């Protein structure tokens, strides 16, 4: 009887360790991707990458232009950026295509927009 209890305790301990390992592994999969975005007065954005694994995505947006620009994606946007200012925008993106744009005046209509793909 004692032997059976010991085996049950051992099984429970193994199950606990396995569960902890699985939880840790799941935690490791919440990695994020950083995308560098450059806003230019040619009314274009240049992105360091146009796709990334879905999930937490960090856009580091720098305005190298003289005009003011912002960056909007997935319902979130940066503050209005003056020359050489940088802002960080963290969004959680679902699998699929996400439109981004500058919301200043008619910048988007002039070309300051694009599609970011989450895989």
Cβ-contact 39, 87 below 8 angstroms: no
Which range, of 22-30, 51-59, 88-96, 97-105, touches Cu ion by CB under 5 A? 97-105
Among 52, 73, 91, 102, binds Cu ion (CB under 5 A): 102
Contact stretch for Cu ion (CB under 5 A) within 27-35, 52-60, 83-91, 107-115: 107-115
Burial class (CB in 10 A: 0-12, 13-18, 19+), 10: exposed
> 49 and 57 in contact (C-beta within 8 Å)?
no
Q: Does 58 bind Cu ion (CB under 5 A)?
A: no
Q: Which stretch binds Cu ion (CB under 5 A): 5-13, 15-23, 54-62, 66-74?
A: 66-74
Interface size with Cu ion, residues (CB under 5 A): 5
CB of 79 to Cu ion, least distance (A): 13
* Cβ(59)–Cβ(35) below 8 Å: yes
Nearest distance, CB of residue 41 and Cu ion, angstroms: 8
Residue 69 lies near Cu ion (rule: CB under 5 A): yes
Cβ atoms within 10 A of the Cβ of 70, count?
A: 20
Report the alpha-carbon distance of residue 92 to residue 58 in Å, rounded. Answer: 9
Q: By the criterion CB under 5 A, which residues form the site for Cu ion?
A: 69, 102, 104, 107, 112
């Amino acid at each position: 009887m004692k032997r059976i209890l010991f085996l049950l305790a051992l099984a429970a301990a193994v199950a606990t360790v396995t569960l902890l390992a699985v939880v840790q592994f799941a935690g490791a999969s919440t990695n994020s991707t950083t995308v560098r975005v450059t806003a230019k007065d040619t009314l274009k954005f240049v992105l360091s990458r146009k796709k990334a694994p879905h999930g937490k995505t960090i856009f580091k947006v720098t305005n190298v232009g003289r005009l003011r620009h912002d960056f909007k994606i997935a319902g979130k946007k940066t503050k209005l950026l003056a020359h050489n200012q940088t802002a960080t925008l963290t969004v959680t993106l679902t699998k699929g295509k996400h439109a981004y744009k500058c919301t200043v005046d008619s910048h988007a209509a002039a070309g300051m927009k694009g599609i970011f793909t989450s895989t």
